[in-house]
Amino acid sequence: MAKIIDGKAVSKAIKDEVKQKVEELQAKGITVTLAVIQVGNNQASTVYVNNKKKACEYTGIRSLAYELPEETTQEELLALVEELNTKEDVNGILVQLPLPSHMDEDAVIRTIFPQKDVDGFHPQSVGALCIGQPGFVSCTPAGIIELLKRSDIEIAGKECVVIGRSNIVGKPMGILLLRENGTVTIAHSRTQDLKAVAKRADILVVAVGKAKMITSEYVKPGAAVIDVGMDRDENNKLCGDVDFEDVSQVAGAITPVPGGVGPMTIAMLMHNCLESVKLQGK
C-alpha cells in the first residue's frame, strides 16, 4: 500500500513558519497585507476566498476583502487594481478567477504589478520562472514541489510526467520539476498512448479535471502520484482525478483528495505574501 502524503499536515507546518515570520515583520512595523478581489458570487470562488481569508487570519496576514457585484465593469475593476498597485500598505493583490464573462481576465492579470502578483499569473512572473529569475510562482505547482521535498521524494534525475497543460498548473509544474533537475514530460488530451507515457513516471502529477480518470494501469509500481483534481464522483462525493482506492495499491506514495494538494495551494499563497514584502524591498 502506498504511503499517504499528508498535505494538511505539511501545509500547517508551512503556515506556522509564515506566522512566525509575519510576527517578526510586525515587530519591525510591517503589517503583511493581502488584498483579495472577488467579482460576482460564483459559489466555488466564495469557498476558495473564504479559505484564503481563514489562512490569513491563522498566519496573522491582514486581508482586505473587495467583494464586487457581478455587473462591475472591466474599467471599474482595473481602476481598483491600479489603486491597490499604488498603495504602499498593500503587499499582495489577488483577483479570484474565473471573472464574469464580460471581463478580460488576461488584461486584469496584466494590470497587477508583478511585485504584488502573489498568484504568479502575470506574464512577467511566468517569464521569470522560465528563465530562473526571482518572481512569484503559481501556488499549486509551488505547493507540489514543497510537498515532494518535505516528503523526502527525490526529484533530481527522475522521470516526471505531468498530465495537463494549463497555464496555472501543468505548464509551471513542468518548469518547476525541470528546475529541480527532473526529466520532464508534459502530457495532455492529445497525447498518444497516455497510459504508456504515464507509466514511465517516477513522479506523476495529474491535473486533468476528470473524476478518477487515472487508474493503476497508468502507474508504475512505487511511483509518487500527486492528484491536483477536485471533482465529484457518481455519488457527488469529493474526489480527485486519480482513482485513489485502485492506485494506492501500486503507487509508492499518493496524495489524498481532500487533504493533499488543496491545502498546499493556500499555504503557498501565504508564503508568497511574505515574499511580496521582500520583492518590494521591505
CB of 206 to ligand GUN, least distance (A): 17
In the complex with ligand GUN, which residue's Cβ is closer, 177 or 269? 269
Total residues in contact with ligand GUN, by rule CB under 6 A: 6
The interface with ligand GUN within residues 222-281 (CB under 6 A) comprises: none
Site string for ligand GUN, 142-161 (x = CB under 6 A): --------------------
Q: Give the nearer residue to ligand GUN in terms of CB position, either 219 or 268.
A: 268
Residue placing its CB nearer to ligand GUN in the complex, 94 or 161: 94
Binding to ligand GUN in span 82-121, by CB under 6 A: 94-97, 119
Distance of CA 208 to the CA centre of its chain: 14
**Dihedral-angle region of residue 60 (phi above 0 means left; psi in -120 to 50 means alpha; beta otherwise):** left
Residue 44 to residue 109: CA distance in whole angstroms: 20
Measured between alpha carbons, how far is 76 from 174 in angstroms, rounded to an integer? Answer: 35
- Report whether 165 belongs to an annotated binding site: yes
In 13-158, DSSP assigns E strands to 33-39, 62-68, 92-95
Q: 164 labelled as ligand-binding?
A: yes
Least Å distance between CB 192 and ligand GUN?
A: 30
Nearest to 218 by CA among 162, 142, 147: 162
Q: Which of 15, 38, 52, 227 is catalytic?
A: 52
| Interatomic CA distance for residues 271 and 242, integer angstroms | 27
Rounded distance, CA 60 to CA 58, Å?
Answer: 6
Q: Is 52 a catalytic residue?
A: yes
Task: Name which of residues 40 to 59 contact ligand GUN (CB under 6 A).
Answer: none
How many whole angstroms separate alpha carbon 80 and alpha carbon 112? 10
Type of residue found at 216 = S
Catalytic option among 38, 117, 119, 212: 119
Q: Rule CB under 6 A: is residue 175 a binding residue for ligand GUN?
A: no
Catalytic residue among 96, 199, 202, 227: 96
Is the Cβ–Cβ distance between 78 and 40 less than 8 Å? no
Name the residue nearer to ligand GUN (CB basis): 59 or 96. Answer: 96
- Distance (Å) of CA 148 to CA 52, 107, 272: 23, 34, 18
Does the footprint of ligand GUN cover residue 139 (CB under 6 A)?
Answer: yes
Catalogue the active-site residues.
Answer: 52, 96, 119
Binding residue positions for NADP(+):
164-166
Which positions lie near ligand GUN, rule CB under 6 A? 94-97, 119, 139
Binding residue positions:
164-166
